[in-house]
């Protein structure tokens, strides 16, 4: 694995070589990840994996034509061939009026803030084995747990570097730690499975094996002997671990490429009040130790905190340079790169907590469902129609009274956004965090 400095040098050399070979502009992206993971099952070692992969991608522009080529081979001779091939391909590519690097006058300049993404740790296989064993044991210790799919622990290190021919060079490194357990409760045809997990850049921020394991076991046991869900237009309450998917659907709809293609169900609705006026959804790219924190985006533009929903309205689209040009707007610092053309992504997101407790949120529900798991991908990005399989718990008389399974929740995302009410239980644990959410008027159907 290269250091950040070495990776930046390698990326800059590729950009320089591309312009010497005839490209009008170029950028190069280096990414490397090294990971070690250990899995335990029923108290015994099941698997140890060690992987390390690196990739460098060159994007060259000749006029309004562009091409991208990537390789995992860092040999100088191979990189020289990559440059020649990429520039030659760019000359033959079709013209794209929106192709090009990010505006030079908008590039990130100066020293990057210290986002504290790397705790300096190295992988310790024995410590990972101990942690995987501990998380599984904690889950299996819950009364009613009958079997295990295993506990796992992992450590990773990542390096990212981006250089452009018009003056940007930036990179960073990060560490990663994760811990998970998946267990089964019950016997035979009545078995139920559930899980617990957590990830963090710093080991000190990782939840304990006891917390994660106990949560996995408790959730599995709570799902035993599920009944049938009620049917009809009912209040649906989303557990925080599935409620974050609602934010994912919003992000897809406000992504510049989808808007520019006219394939977003929110196209033409940017001036409407989509949510209750109290709903705030915030993007925080500079949060210390945030799982998606970054000082600059995938094109070298600075990032900044932003409410993507405020006063119930979206505050604009998430734009990379290409989609911004198509829409006649300015890029917003949300470009993402994985080699080749850019896309868009947000960073650390959260939906702000509401003012009522979870108990108060469900107190007036005569009959409804509390969803803890969503299944399938039944969302139409063009119309906003939403239909997904689910499991969870029945709400009756303002109380959660028992598990239910094999039902469907359906609606339209525009209507769901308008009806969304958050509780006050927001906790920052993941890259996207939401409190418990209530959405009235969804269609619930039992299988």
Quote the DSSP letter at residue 409: E
For the segment 74-81, the average pLDDT, to the nearest whole number, is: 93
Q: What is the dihedral sign for C-alpha 130, 136, 139, 141?
A: negative
Q: What is the pLDDT of residue 340?
A: 53
Sheet holding 306-310, edge to edge: 313-314, 306-310, 281-283, 349-351, 432-433
Quote the DSSP letter at residue 43: T
Q: What is the pLDDT of residue 296?
A: 97
Report the candidate in 130, 117, 138, 112 with the shortest Cα–Cα distance to residue 205: 117
The DSSP string of 225-269 is S-BPPP-EEEEEEE-HHHHHHHHHHHHHHHBHHHHHHT--TTTT-
If one counts every other C-beta atom within 10 angstroms of the C-beta of residue 397, the result is 11
Of the pLDDT bands very low, low, confident and very high (cuts 50, 70, 90), residue 341 is low
In total, the chain counts a number of residues equal to 447
Mean pLDDT of the chain: 96
SS3 of 272-330: CCCCCCCCCEEECCCCCCCCCCCCECCCCCECCCEEEEECCEECCCECCHHHHHHHCCC
For residue 339, pLDDT beyond 60: no
For residue 342, pLDDT beyond 90: no
Q: What is the pLDDT of residue 377?
A: 86
Report the candidate in 360, 349, 250 with the shortest Cα–Cα distance to residue 293: 349
In degrees and rounded to multiples of 5, residue 105 shows phi and psi of -75, -5
Render pLDDT for 133-187 as a digit per residue (tens, 0 to 9).
999 999 999 999 999 999 999 999 999 999 999 999 999 999 999 999 999 999 9
By percentage, how much of the chain surpasses pLDDT 70? Answer: 99
Q: What is the pLDDT of residue 159?
A: 95
CA distance 326 to 96: 11
For the chain, what are the domain ranges? 4-221, 226-447
Q: CA neighbours within 13 Å on the CB side: how many for 237?
A: 27
Of the pLDDT bands very low, low, confident and very high (cuts 50, 70, 90), residue 1 is confident
Q: What is the pLDDT of residue 297?
A: 97
CA distance 241 to 436: 9
Q: Is the separation of the CB atoms in 285 and 403 below 8 Å?
A: no
Compute and round to an integer the Cα radius of gyration of the chain: 24
- Taking the model in full, what pTM does it have? 0.94
Q: What is the pLDDT of residue 24?
A: 97
Q: What is the pLDDT of residue 66?
A: 96
What are the structure tokens assigned to 335, written together?
């470009």
Render pLDDT for 185-230 as a digit per residue (tens, 0 to 9).
999 889 999 999 999 999 999 999 999 999 999 999 999 999 999 9
Q: What is 4-221's CATH topology?
A: PmbA/TldD fold (3.30.2290)
Render pLDDT for 13-69 as a digit per residue (tens, 0 to 9).
999 999 999 999 999 999 999 999 999 999 999 999 999 999 999 999 999 999 999
Residue 146 gets the label, from left (phi > 0), alpha (psi -120 to 50) or beta, of alpha
For the segment 374-396, the average pLDDT, to the nearest whole number, is: 96
Render pLDDT for 256-311 as a digit per residue (tens, 0 to 9).
999 999 999 999 998 999 999 999 999 999 999 999 999 999 999 999 999 999 99
The three-point CA angle 355-361-366 to 5° equals 160
What are the structure tokens assigned to 409, written together?
């929740």
For the segment 301-324, the average pLDDT, to the nearest whole number, is: 97
What are the structure tokens assigned to 359, written together?
């108990």
Report the candidate in 374, 413, 352, 357 with the shortest Cα–Cα distance to residue 243: 374
């Amino acid at each position: 694995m290269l250091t950040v400095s070495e990776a930046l040098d390698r990326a800059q050399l590729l950009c320089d070589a591309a312009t010497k070979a005839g490209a009008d502009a170029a950028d190069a992206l280096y990414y490397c990840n090294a990971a070690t993971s250990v899995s335990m099952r029923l108290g015994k070692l099941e698997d140890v994996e060690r992987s390390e992969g690196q990739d460098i991608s060159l994007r060259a522009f000749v006029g309004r034509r562009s091409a991208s080529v990537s390789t995992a081979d860092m040999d100088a001779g191979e990189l020289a061939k990559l440059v020649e091939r990429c520039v030659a391909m760019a000359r033959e590519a079709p013209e794209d009026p929106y192709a090009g690097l990010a505006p030079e006058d908008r590039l990130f300049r100066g020293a990057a803030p210290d986002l504290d993404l790397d705790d300096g740790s190295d992988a310790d296989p024995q410590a990972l084995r101990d942690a995987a064993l501990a998380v599984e044991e904690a889950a299996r210790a819950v009364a009613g747990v009958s079997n295990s799919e295993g506990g796992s622990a992992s450590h990773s290190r990542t390096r990212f570097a981006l250089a452009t021919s018009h003056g940007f060079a930036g990179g960073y490194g990060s560490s990663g730690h994760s811990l998970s357990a998946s267990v089964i409760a019950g016997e035979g045809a009545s078995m139920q499975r559930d899980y617990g997990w957590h990830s963090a850049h710093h080991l000190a921020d990782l939840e304990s094996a006891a917390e994660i394991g106990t949560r996995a076991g408790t959730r599995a046991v709570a799902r035993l002997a599920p009944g049938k869900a009620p049917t009809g237009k009912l209040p649906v309450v989303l557990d925080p671990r599935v409620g974050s998917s609602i934010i994912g659907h919003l992000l897809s709809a406000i992504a510049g490429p989808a808007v520019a293609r006219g394939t977003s169900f929110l196209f033409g609705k940017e001036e409407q009040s989509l949510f209750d006026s109290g709903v705030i959804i915030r993007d925080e790219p500079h949060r210390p130790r945030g799982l998606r924190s970054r000082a600059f985006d995938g094109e070298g533009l600075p990032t900044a905190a932003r409410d993507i929903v405020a006063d119930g309205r979206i505050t604009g689209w998430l734009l990379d340079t290409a989609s911004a040009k198509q829409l006649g707007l300015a890029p917003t610092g949300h470009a993402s790169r994985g080699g080749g053309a850019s896309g868009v992504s947000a960073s650390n997101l959260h939906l702000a907590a509401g003012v009522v407790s979870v108990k108060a949120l469900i107190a007036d529900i005569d009959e409804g469902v509390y969803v803890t798991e969503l299944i399938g991908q039944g969302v139409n990005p063009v119309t906003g129609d939403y239909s997904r399989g689910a499991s969870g718990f029945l709400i009756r008389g303002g109380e959660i009274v028992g598990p239910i399974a094999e039902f469907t929740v359906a609606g339209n995302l525009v209507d769901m956004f308008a009806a969304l009410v958050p509780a006050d239980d927001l906790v920052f644990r993941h890259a996207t965090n939401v409190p418990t959410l209530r959405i009235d008027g969804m269609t619930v159907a039992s299988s």
